Copies of this chain bind each other. A is one copy, B any other.
Amino acid sequence: MAVGIRDVARAAGVSTATVSRALGKGPVSDALREQVEAAVRATGYRPNLSARRLRSQAAQTIGLIVADIRNPFFTAVSRAVEDAAYRAGMRLILCNTGEDAEREALYLRLMQEERVTGVVFAPTRRTAERLRPEDFPFPLVLIDRTGPPGGHDGVVLDNVAAGAALVDHLVEQGFSRISGLFGSTSSTAEERRDGYLSAMRRHGLAPQVRTVLPDAEPAQGEVARWLAGADRPEALVLSNGLILMGAVRAARAAGLAWPGGIALAGFDNEPWTDLVEPGLTVIEQPVAEIGAQAMDLLFDRLKNPDQPVRKVVLSGRLIARGSTARR
């Protein structure tokens, strides 16, 4: 039934060591290599990766742990990471935490048990704070979100600048009662909020901030309540694509379609943001670059374990559309 390397060796009339070498990169004469390849074809042999990994102590696997694969930001980053892994001849294990700290812990444990080569991780704030490098026998690269300084390599957006850029843009467009709704689980949302706050102060405006679970439904509910209240803002800054979607829904439901209703500015240039009229103003993130850089950091760290911790900060790009049109 299960054909192993011994069967191939027998069929080729050589030892298992020779088969292993012929399939790998060991020194084998051309004649034998050909015999072995013929035997492999004849027997339909498929190597057993568990055995290979166990013996060679090289999993050739990298783990990718993201918060929510439905968020197009993460699917885009995933593709970049997958491509890089693929090019390096590594497999990818993709895990979804749903912003749940317990599942994060579970998956981190799983990575250790898989003896992975390295991990790319977008942690919740709570987990990021407890992340200690010495607990992990593999390189751990943080993306999108960051932990305590000096802990792990990471790739993040310049979130403070991006948050401020949205405020600057809204002010320039003539808005002043600008409020912000930010995700509650990530350092990234916090930084975007800080950017929002400092820009508001700089403009001499009164900030107003709320916080919500970073998903469309909770955001929609929160915005709906906000719009129904007495302190309805003129413009809203939303800290990610899912929250932005919730806000659009709430604005629609309240009959506050723009222009003239409420101005919206958010993050992530998702495919639908230019389709909903008259287009949503967003900060576009360099998603492919984020994934690629994360893998670069990871491979660098493998090559050179003792180099100082590096943090790559990338800039977003403001895409102004109709949702923030001048009043």
Q: Residues of A with Cβ closer than 8 Å to B?
A: 1-2, 46-51, 53-54, 59, 69-70, 72, 75-76, 78-79, 82, 91-94, 96, 109-110, 112-115, 137, 216, 245, 248-249, 252, 271-272, 275-277
Contacts and interface: CB of A to CB of B under 8 A. Distances in A.
B245 A275 contact: yes
A79 B70 contact: yes
A246 B82 CA distance: 25
A49 B277 CA distance: 51
A96 B81 CA distance: 12
Contacts of A48: 54, 113, 115
A253 B216 CA distance: 28
Contacts of A51: 50, 54
A114 B109 CA distance: 20
A158 B124 CA distance: 40
Given A91-B110, A245-B275, A248-B275, A115 B49 contact: yes
19 contacts: A46-B109, A47-B113, A48-B54, A50-B51, A50-B54, A50-B59, A54-B54, A70-B75, A75-B75, A79-B96, A82-B96, A92-B94, A93-B93, A94-B94, A245-B271, A245-B275, A248-B275, A275-B275, A276-B276
Given A82-B96, A272-B275, A272-B276, 5 more contacts: A49-B113, A69-B75, A69-B79, A248-B275, A249-B275
A267 B157 CA distance: 35
Contacts of A113: 46-49
Contacts of A49: 113-115
Contacts of A249: 275
A72 B275 CA distance: 17
Contacts of A76: 70
Contacts of A271: 216, 245, 272
A233 to B, nearest CB: 21
Contacts of A245: 271-272, 275
